[in-house]
Amino acid sequence: MNVFVTPSMLGQVVISGILSGALYAMVALGLALIFGVMRIINIAHGPLLMLGAYATYFLYSALGINPFLTVPVSMLALFVVGALLERTLVFRVVDAPELSSLLLTFGISIALVNLAQLAFTSDLRSVEYLTGAWLVGPFALSKARLVAFVFAGALTGLAFSFLQWTRLGKAIRATSQSREVAMVCGINVQRIHLFTFGLAAALAAAGGALIAVIVAIQPEMGQIWTFKSFLVIVLGGAGNYPGALLGGILLGLIEQVASLFLTTQLSEVVAYVLLVLVLLVRPAGLLGGRQT
């Protein structure tokens, strides 16, 4: 446990927290989209991220493609996977009680993890690319995390711009606000659900592709990301897209500051304690409930 904290140490953890928070925000944005539009909590979000990480690993190890250039390929592949899941399974529980969607997506999650264990085994795999750090004054910036931060920030910005300015994005927001009114206005809600689930899976895949250059890959790696994504949208407000960005940055900062004062094991507990506190004190999240 660290007792003495210098300004440079505090600055380092703030920078690290923001770098991690951008990734959290981008991954959680997909979960917030699905909940906002379809009212489904997708437990399979993390395993979809895991598939994106494996796609990057094999494209890098087998074909030698720059792992950051695999991001669009992983996104496209997982968009198709997400759309297929929505069209074959998820659409059946859109208007069902929330427990039904939780059980369904939990089952999908277990199936994806077990299929990955059969196909890829449980061995740890890594994408050794862009290792080391750049020194900027007293601060050390991990090369992989910094580039991942730039990609995550750009993709999050593109996603927000898409929702804000495009016709399809406006249709998604309208469906999130009121499905009935959207249908009256001529919006094909089933197609919006299909696209939304695919887009969320693509964002999860982008997160997996970027995380692959930072941490080791294994079939169960997505579980912790499902939890963190859920925590981010609880922090920001379920279904609130700007809230997902705020929640991601906050979670990254809180984790890094906690690691400065606590052991690694205890710092991980902080996230769980934070989830309980937010649910008790402000269950609607920092930015309130659903937002379009």
Q: What is the pLDDT of residue 41?
A: 86
Q: Tell me the HSE value of 87 on the side-chain side, using a 13 A CA sphere.
A: 10
Contact 48, 204 (CB under 8 A): yes
How much of the chain, in percent, has pLDDT values that exceed 70?
95
Contact 175, 192 (CB under 8 A): yes
Contact 34, 85 (CB under 8 A): no
Q: What is the pLDDT of residue 2?
A: 54
Contact 23, 149 (CB under 8 A): yes
Residues 41, 203, 200: CA angle, nearest 5 degrees:
35
How much of the chain, in percent, has pLDDT values that exceed 90?
51
Q: What is the pLDDT of residue 51?
A: 96
| pLDDT band, very low/low/confident/very high, at 12 (cuts 50, 70, 90) | confident
The interaxial angle of helices 143-165 and 7-38, nearest 10 deg, is: 40
Distance CA 14, CA 255 (A): 10
Distance CA 55, CA 202 (A): 12
Q: 66 or 236: which carries more pLDDT confidence?
A: 66
| pLDDT band, very low/low/confident/very high, at 281 (cuts 50, 70, 90) | confident
Average pLDDT, the chain: 88
pLDDT tens by residue, 162-216: 999 999 999 999 998 888 888 988 999 999 999 999 999 999 999 999 999 999 9
Judge whether residue 288 has pLDDT over 80.
no
- Extract the tokens encoding 236: 């920001």
Using alpha carbons, list the distances in angstroms from residue 170 to 166, 167, 173, 261.
Answer: 6, 5, 5, 44
Judge whether residue 117 has pLDDT over 80.
yes
